[in-house]
A and B are shown apart, each in its own frame.
Chain A
């Protein structure tokens, strides 16, 4: 009897440990642009929220970037750390100073981080299994913001991926009246936010992405689940917001967009 009780105890302990381990700790990944990026001093601080970055498989680069599979790391982690500082300063969101990288790997970890961001989704290549998990994540209440993809080709590839997730839901242009543009800042007057290329070329767009598109996918209750920032590069704006060459007006709008989007996520 004692032996059985002991075994039961051990089993419970193991189960409990496994359950708790479902939430993975912070991990720093090598990125395309940044290696050994310094961690902020309070990176271990336990807080209410952080924004997660989706690690997805991507197509090989069509235009010269050699390391295709690591496209999810574009601007990472400098962009994330800058953004989180901005969120902390401008809102009452109790945010961590570091991001959380998550995978759609069939495990439960992604569900611990309902605020998800993906970059360069013009090259994402989700498997059917990953698309299914992303759909489940979003329908349970998760929120996905995608950014930094430009022109028709990248749009088409993004759509191919998101249609795997939601074959039956439309991508719609967001109305200026949507609460997402008013939750903290009134953002009726938005403009295209270019990437760092603007500093060198003065071009606001990339490829044929001449006009910024503010789009999204709603759930059945009229809440945005996916917000799509096409033909703009908010990630670059956050990343380079401390670079004197990068115009302040772009960085400023990028922060206000992020503040509104993530606050919308936490209120809808």
Chain B
């Protein structure tokens, strides 16, 4: 229809530039139109003899003026100047996606996407292209290959890297007159899309990419897991969350079963009600990390009847459950029930080592949990190595002056530089009442402490989760969020609480206290500080959760265990190893990074870092890591994985004969798995690719138009042509409509 009215294909208009071929200047056209408008105005108002009122006269004048303007414009000879590819002198690259996703049978008649692509190319398109250009056939997978005949396609390549493939076409274009690219694909890309750099490069070469999309844009009946987020590291027996994102089509309102498994062992299971078609939904499943070791955690949605693909119902992630036992030092200023019950709460926790220093009398301390009789014999550490040996610190009802200024500074360094966790408890000598407002550590606190005393009051208060508290793993006593809120509401009141002031920006209040005297104050507040984290639990009276609930109730134990695990689970060791992607899909390259610190946790830039890599089938390799030229204490290495499977990396860092530390990390290489996801056509990617490069997106039905459109390109060897516009049928129709419109109006008004 477009071409019928406008004489030329859309591509001519989108790629061409408008020109006036008449010899007269453009300003003369404007003057002529103005003169015509004035003359027509005079005639309309003076020669109708008052038979038409004002508005009617204006309508007639406008129609007549437009008619005159169009006619005058035609006299100036309008045309489009467009670059076209010279026949037989240019190459058109036809890139056909030959990845496994093209074997999906969701085309008409149950045909595969590959078969549909072959059909489109064979039914005239390829011949039309060959008539005008040299055609080079490429097949696209994880890289680009040339091929000769369409019969060679077999949809067997386990990955699609569109961006990588197009880069190769651009590389070819440097030595070949490639005038355009035709990409026949479902748009399923495993490398996360086409990066801006590649698109910019294509635009610089002015090569239009025309895309033909195959496959359904929305699966009729399918559930797909979009993503699963689980922590890469965990402490043994800690509670972890798997945040599962998924979407579905065709099963709205139905129930589906989400399962988290490790091998045959079910870690968590939950029924979910499926939302509207296409709507992304998310569900959090909690599970226990179990014993130390590398865990392959599988998250799946049980296939529903009639699903088009069930391969996208399962996602695997690796969790490295660390064998270390973090040590927490708890300094308490007075023997009290909170001290006793906190110790009891974490005594059963095999993952945490609690060491305590208690001021029993004015001049005596009592140590528990010490590694040897000499440890902490002089009280709270005064040396950096001694304090930094711990992963977390708890300060109870202790007044700030009990610590020397040096110890206070050390405490700040512990959080900021060491990356440790620091928890303050409420108490008669704690926080504002203990002079912490005036201490060097005031900036560590997640709240702005009140500038007064007597903030600790022995008044009962109920506790209530805040909105962030409902989502936090620290406060999760029940897996079901609603039941969790209810359980917190039913907890016995705390014996006392402390006013800790307003939370600082960035701090998160997880629990509020609602005193019986009225009001609401923050009770549990957390924040990140430097490399570490700090928190306030503004009471010394949570022990009632243990004493006033049945023996079988483990609320108090769970709360403190989870709070203390949060405090130390992210405390770094001297060596921290990481990789940008723990799951490498259809790629063999892995980048390793290690951050190395010395005994005082200052960056160690003169260390030697080595990565010992163990992989499937006995793969073992030692890779030396290079110091990063920009970041002090950072070492990097690139390595190529020879096989798919799980890999364990242990990085050791040493300085001379002294070993600074070691850390382990896991990653997994998977080939062909990502291809099972995002099975519907990614039209958005294909449309974006074509529009950004000056091409056009086609459906298989209108792909034959490509034969004509493709000629208009500024890449390759081109010639500039002009296309007259005055004889377009639309111009004639416009003139006719203007005249007919005026006649119809006059007839209606009876002024013919």
Question: What residues of chain A have their CB less than 8 Å away from a CB belonging to chain B?
Answer: 16, 19-20, 22-23, 46-49, 90-94, 108, 111-112, 114, 136, 139-142, 183-184, 221, 223, 262-263, 265-268
Contacting pair A266 B339 (CB below 8 A): yes
> Are A93 and B547 interface neighbours, CB within 8 A?
no
A19-B493, A48-B334, A93-B336 known; A267 vs B547 contact (CB < 8 Å): no
Q: Is there contact, CB below 8 Å, between B540 and A263?
A: no
Stretch at the interface among B142-150, B249-257, B341-349, B696-704: B341-349
Q: In the complex, which residue of chain A has the Cβ closest to the Cβ of B348?
A: A221
Q: Considering only CB atoms, which chain A residue lies closest to B546 in the complex?
A: A141
Contact A92 B340, CB 8 Å, known A16-B462, A108-B548, A112-B544: no
How would residues 478 to 522 of chain B score, 1 for a CB under 8 Å from any chain A CB and 0 otherwise?
000000000000001100000000000000000000001000000
Name the residue of chain B whose CB is nearest to the CB of A136.
B551
Residues of chain B in range 524-540 having any CB-CB distance to chain A below 8 Å: 540
Contacting B335 at CB < 8 Å: which of A47, A93, A108, A136?
A: A93
Q: How far is the CA of A91 from the CA of B363 in the complex (A)?
A: 9
Cβ 8 A contact of B337, one of A19, A23, A49, A221:
A49
> Are B337 and A48 in contact, with the CB atoms below 8 A?
yes
A19 B546 Cβ-Cβ under 8 A: no
Q: Is the CB of A94 within 8 A of B336?
A: yes
Q: Does B428 contact A (CB under 8 A)?
A: yes
**Whole-angstrom distance between the alpha carbons of A202 and B543 in the complex?**
45
Q: Report whether B340 and A112 are in contact in the complex, using a CB–CB cutoff of 8 Å.
A: no
Given contacts A92-B362, A93-B334, A108-B548, contact A20 B340 (CB under 8 A): no
* Complex alpha-carbon distance, A67 and B540, angstroms: 41
Assess whether A112 is in contact with B344, with CB atoms less than 8 Å apart: no
Stretch at the interface among B31-39, B223-231, B353-361, B571-579: B353-361
List the 7 shortest-distance A-B pairs measured between CB atoms, nearest first.
Answer: A266-B335, A111-B547, A46-B458, A92-B334, A111-B548, A48-B336, A93-B335
| Contact indicator per residue, chain B 311-353, by CB within 8 Å of chain A (1) or not (0) | 0000000000000000000000111110111011001100000
CA distance A139 to B366 in the complex (A): 24
**Out of A20, A136, A184, A223, which one reaches B361, CB within 8 Å?**
A184
Instruction: Please indicate the chain A residues that have their CB under 8 angstroms from the CB of B748 in the complex.
Output: none
B17 interfacial contact with A, CB 8 Å: no
Does B460 count as interface, using CB distance less than 8 angstroms? yes
Write the chain B residue with the least CB distance to A108: B548
Interface size range on B against A = 35 or more
Give A47's nearest chain B residue, CB to CB.
Answer: B458
Q: Which of A19, A20, A92, A136 contacts B359 (CB 8 A)?
A: A92
* B338 nearest CB across to chain A (Å): 9
Given A140-B547, A267-B339, check contact A94 B334 (CB 8 Å).
Answer: yes
Question: Of all chain A residues, which has the CB nearest B335?
Answer: A266
Residues of A contacting B337 with CB < 8 Å? 48-49, 114, 266
Given contacts A16-B516, A140-B546, A142-B547, contact A91 B336 (CB under 8 A): no
CA distance A174 to B562 in the complex (A): 35
Q: 14 extra interchain contacts, Cβ-Cβ under 8 A, other than A48-B336, A49-B337, A223-B344?
A: A48-B334, A48-B540, A49-B336, A91-B335, A94-B336, A111-B548, A140-B547, A140-B549, A184-B361, A184-B364, A263-B360, A267-B335, A267-B356, A268-B344
**A44 to nearest B CB, angstroms?**
12
Contact between A265 and B462, CB atoms less than 8 A apart? no
Q: For A183, list chain B residues within 8 Å (CB).
A: 360, 366
**Complex alpha-carbon distance, A114 and B348, angstroms:** 20
B368 within 8 A of A: yes
The answer on a CB contact under 8 Å between B460 and A141 is: no
**Is there contact, CB below 8 Å, between A141 and B341?**
yes
With both beta carbons as reference points, the residue of chain A lying nearest to B334 in the complex is identified as: A92
Q: Which residue of B lies closest to A265 (CB)?
A: B340
Contacts of A90 in B (CB 8 A): 361
CA of A91 to CA of B337, assembled, Å: 15
Tell me which of B358, B359, B547 contacts A114 (CB under 8 A). B547
CA distance A184 to B343 in the complex (A): 18
Contacts of B549 in A (CB 8 A): 140
| Set of chain A residues within 8 Å of B360, measured between Cβ atoms | 91-92, 183-184, 263
In the complex, which residues 349-388 of chain B have their Cβ closer than 8 Å to any Cβ of chain A?
Answer: 356, 358-362, 364, 366, 368
Given contact pairs A20-B493, A48-B336, A94 touches B428 in the complex (Cβ within 8 A): yes
A173→B343 CA distance, assembly (Å): 25
Cα distance A30–B734 when bound, in Å?
113
- Please measure, in the bound complex, the distance between the C-alpha atom of A23 and the C-alpha atom of B334, giving whole angstroms: 23
Residue of A nearest to B359 (CB): A92
Taking the closest CB of chain A, its distance from the CB of B50, in whole angstroms, is 70
Instruction: Write out the residue numbers on chain B whose beta carbons fall within 8 Å of the beta carbon of A221.
Output: 347-348
Please indicate the chain B residues that have their CB under 8 angstroms from the CB of A267 in the complex: 335, 339-340, 343, 356, 358, 366, 368
A-B contact pairs, 18 of them (CB 8 A): A19-B492, A22-B548, A47-B458, A49-B337, A92-B360, A92-B362, A93-B334, A112-B547, A114-B337, A114-B340, A136-B551, A140-B546, A184-B364, A263-B366, A266-B335, A266-B339, A267-B343, A268-B344
Q: Are A92 and B460 in contact (CB under 8 A)?
A: no
How many whole Å from B105's CB to the nearest CB in chain A?
A: 57
B364: chain A residues at CB < 8 Å are 184
Chain B window 550-571, contacts with chain A (Cβ cutoff 8 Å), 1 for yes, 0 for no? 1100000000000000000000
Which of the listed residues A19, A90, A267 has the most CB atoms from chain B within 10 Å of its own CB? A267
Whether A141 pairs with B335 at a CB distance below 8 angstroms is no
Interface residue from B339, B362, B516, B551 paired with A140 (Cβ < 8 Å): B551
Per the bound structure, the CA–CA distance linking A265 and B428 in Å amounts to 20
Q: How far is the CA of A208 from the CA of B107 in the complex (A)?
A: 100
User: Cα distance A94–B359 when bound, in Å?
Assistant: 12
Docked pose: A227 CA to B428 CA in angstroms: 29
Interface centre among A23, A48, A139, by most chain B C-beta atoms within 10 angstroms, is A48
* CB of A115, distance to nearest CB on chain B (Å): 8
CB contacts (< 8 Å) of B548 on chain A: these are 22, 108, 111-112
B344–A141 CB distance below 8 A: yes
Q: List B contacts of A91 (CB < 8 A).
A: 335, 360-361
Write the chain A residue with the least CB distance to B368: A267
Give Cα A48–Cα B543 distance, bound, in whole angstroms: 12
Residue of A nearest to B540 (CB): A48
Q: Are B336 and A20 in contact (CB under 8 A)?
A: no
Q: Which residues of B contact A265 (CB under 8 A)?
A: 340
Shortest beta-carbon distance, A95 to chain B, in Å? Answer: 10
Closest to B461 in A: A20
Q: Give Cα A23 to B459, complex, Å.
A: 12
B542 to chain A, nearest CB (A): 12
A94 CA / B366 CA spacing, docked (Å): 17
Q: Which residues of A contact B544 (CB under 8 A)?
A: 111-112
Chain B residue with Cβ nearest A223: B344
Cα–Cα, bound, A19→B428 (Å): 24
Instruction: Check B334–A141 contact: CB distance below 8 A.
Output: no
| Measured CA separation A19–B333 after assembly (Å) | 30
Residues on A with C-beta less than 8 A from B546 are 140-141
For B362, the chain A residues whose CB sits under 8 A away are: 92
Q: How far is the CA of A262 from the CA of B544 in the complex (A)?
A: 18
Chain A nearest CB: distance from B515 CB in Å?
11
**Central interface residue in B344, B361, B460, by most chain A CB within 10 Å:** B361
Q: How far is the CA of A267 from the CA of B337 in the complex (A)?
A: 8
Q: Which residues of B contact A184 (CB under 8 A)?
A: 360-361, 364, 366
CA separation between A19 and B460, bound complex, in Å?
A: 10
CB distance from A203 to the nearest CB of B (A): 34
